Structure 1
Amino acid sequence: MSPRITATATATVTATYIGTATVLLRIGGLTVLTDPAFDQAPADYPGARPLHRTAGPALAADRLPPVDLVLLSHDQHADNLDHTGREVLARAARTLTTPEGAARLGGRAEGLAPWESREVSAGGTTVRITATPARHGPEGTEEATGPVTGFVVEYEGGALYLSGDTVRHDALTEIGERFVLDTAFLHFGDAHFPSTGDRAFSLSATEGAALARVLGARTVVPLHFDSWAHLAEDPSAITAAFAADPQLAGTLRRLEPGVAEKLR
C-alpha cells in the first residue's frame, strides 16, 4: 500500500461551480475543467436510459479561459459530457479519462487505469493526477454503465479528490489510506431511472456522508445533485446527512454557481 503523501509549500486553489459535475479549477497557474457539460436547458438525450436536463450551466462555454487539462470521469453520459462539452474538450490542451473513453475520443485524450498517475504542467505549476476506482452503479451493472474513473490531484501543499459518478463500494476506502485530502468533490444525486427500479447510480446523501468519513477530507464539496431529472434526491438531504454526524461538523461546503471561490 502506498504511503500517505504530504508536501510543505502551498498552491492557491480556486473553484468555480458551473453545474452538475462541471467545475473550473485554478491550481496555481494551471487551469483544470471537470466533466464538461455546457448545453443549455431544457435538453433531452435519448438512449437506454434517457436523460432530461432541467437547468443550464452557470457559465457559458464561450466564457471559459484556455483550459490546460480536462479531467473526464467518463464520456458516455450527457450529464458529464454533452454536445457543447465535446467542443470544449476538443479545444483543451489535454484530457485524462478512462482508457476506453480515450480510445473513443482520440485526439489529446489519454486513458488512466486505477492508481495510474501522470504529471501535468502549465503556467509554472506541476500537479500529479492519479486515477481512482469508481463504479457507476450496483455490482453487476458495469457492462451497462461503462467504466468510470475518479481522480486525485496532488499539488504543492495539498490534494483534492474528484469522485466521478460512483456509488459507495469497498475500493474507495483505499483513497483515504493513500492520500491526505484537503477537498473532496463528491458526486451525489442518488441517480435513479424508471427502467432500473430502486437501483441507484450515484451517491445518496447517506452514502456520501459515509464516504466522507472514510476519506477524512477537510472539506467536502457536493456536485452532481441537481439540474437533471434523474437526480431526484432533494439536495437538502445532503445538508441533513452531514449535520447528523458530529465527525463531519464543518466539512460540508456548497459553492455558489458561477463564482470563483478560494479553497485554500
Structure 2
Amino acid sequence: MTRKRYGNLDGIQNKHGFAEVRRWRRERKQKKKDLSYVVPQAANKQIAWLSANRSASSITWIGHATFLIQINGCNILTDPVWAKRMGLEKRLSEPGLRLDQLPPIDVVLISHGHYDHLDIGTLKRLPGSPVYLVPEGLGRLLTRRGFTHVHEFVWWEKMSDKGCTFTFVPAQHWVRRGLWDMNTSHWGGWVVQAENAPSVYFVGDTGYFRGFTEIGKRFAIDTVLMPIGAYEPEWFMQTAHINPEDAVKAFCELHAQTCIPMHYGAFRLADDTAAEALNRFTTAWNEQNLSTDRLRVLQLGETWQPSM
C-alpha cells in the first residue's frame, strides 16, 4: 500500500542530492568554529513553584524546541527531547530541568517527526498521562509503541482540552526517520489559546514562508517561540531552517507582542553556533527598532510569566 506523502505551501521542496551533501561536508571541514559558548543555565529555577502552579501562565525553556508551558492549570510540553546524543553528536548543553523536576504533563505537542523534536525514549519517561497531539501521519509511530490518547491533526485543525484550544498551523519543512518514510507524516506549529490567558505560538521547525502572514491574520498572538538556529550553510538549509534575520521578519509579520528564541545551542545540527545565531538575531532585532522589552532570551530552565 502506497503511503501518503506530505508537502509544503506553494510546492516548495527540500530535496538535496548526494553531491550537495558532499559539498556541505567539504565546506564544513574548511570552517573553523568557536564552539566554546554554552547556553547558560538559569541561576534560580522555579521548580517548586512550577509544580504547585495551577493558575498563572508561564513559559519555561528546557532547551532546543522543548518548553514547559503552563496555561490555566494545564501543563504542556513542546517537542520533548531529553536525549543525551543526537546521532553521533553529543548534546551541547544539559536540559534546563530534569524529567523528575517536571509537574505531571497534561498535553504534549509534537511539531514533526525528526529525532531532535520527537524522542520516544523521552516520551516513555514523562510524568503524568498526557494527551499527544501530533501531525497527520505520525500517530502510528506512537500507538505502535504503546502510547494512547494520540490525536492526529491536519493544518488549521483544532481541538479543545484541559481548558485550552490547540490549533495545528502550517510550517515549511520536511521529515524523515528511516530509509523509506520520507515525508510520510506532516509538520507544523501549534497555537495555544485559553480564556483570559495570553496566547502562545510554538513555531516548531520551519524555513521562512508566506504562512507567517496568514497565521498573523488568523490569530491574536501574544508570545512566539521562534527558531533561530541550524541555518548554515544557508544555500543548503534555507528551505527548512529559518535564519535569524528572517526570524525577526517573521515575528513582525505575526504582529505578536513578545518573542522567545529557541532551536539553538542543544545539538550541532548545522554549521552555525549558538553564539552566532543569537548575535545575528539580536542585531536584526535592533535594526528593526523593536523594543528590547518584547524580546525574552531565556536561559535554560528559566521561567517567564507572560501577561496579556
Question: What TM-score do you get using the length of structure 1 for normalisation?
Answer: 0.81
**2:100 equivalent in structure 1:** 62
| Higher normalized strand content (fraction of residues) | 1
How many angstroms does 1:70 deviate by? 0.5
The question of 1:24 aligning with 2:68 is answered: yes
Whether the 8 Å contact between 1:218 and 1:251 is mirrored in structure 2 is yes
Q: Counterpart of 1:100 in 2: which secondary structure? A: coil
The question of 1:110 aligning with 2:151 is answered: yes
C-alpha separation between the residues in 2 aligned to 1:104 and 1:236? 38
Structure 1: gaps (5+ residues): 1-10
**1:131 equivalent in structure 2:** 168
**1:153 equivalent in structure 2:** 192
The question of 1:119 aligning with 2:160 is answered: yes
**Residues 103 and 192 of structure 1: is their aligned pair in 2 closer, same or farther, counting only changes over 3 Å?**
farther
**1:3 equivalent in structure 2:** none
C-alpha separation between the residues in 2 aligned to 1:205 and 1:170? 16
Whether the 8 Å contact between 1:185 and 1:220 is mirrored in structure 2 is yes
C-alpha separation between the residues in 1 aligned to 2:149 and 2:232? 33
Aligned-residue CA RMSD (Å):
2.4
Per mean C-alpha deviation after superposition, the further-off stretch among 157-166 and 109-118 is: 157-166
How many angstroms does 1:146 deviate by? 5.5
**2:131 equivalent in structure 1:** 94
The question of 1:78 aligning with 2:115 is answered: yes
- Residue 148 of structure 1 aligns with an amino acid whose one-letter code is W
Map 1:1-264 onto structure 2 (within 5 A).
12-40=56-84, 43-45=85-87, 52-75=90-113, 77-88=114-125, 92-106=129-143, 107-121=148-162, 126-136=163-173, 143=182, 147-157=186-196, 158-192=198-232, 198-200=236-238, 201-231=240-270, 232-233=272-273, 234=276, 235-247=278-290, 250-264=293-307
**Residues 57 and 248 of structure 1: is their aligned pair in 2 closer, same or farther, counting only changes over 3 Å?**
same
Bigger CA radius of gyration: 2
How many angstroms does 1:197 deviate by? 5.9
C-alpha separation between the residues in 1 aligned to 2:232 and 2:137? 24
How many angstroms does 1:256 deviate by? 2.3
Whether the 8 Å contact between 1:39 and 1:83 is mirrored in structure 2 is no
Query: May I ask how many residue pairs the two structures share in their alignment?
Result: 237
Question: What TM-score do you get using the length of structure 2 for normalisation?
Answer: 0.70
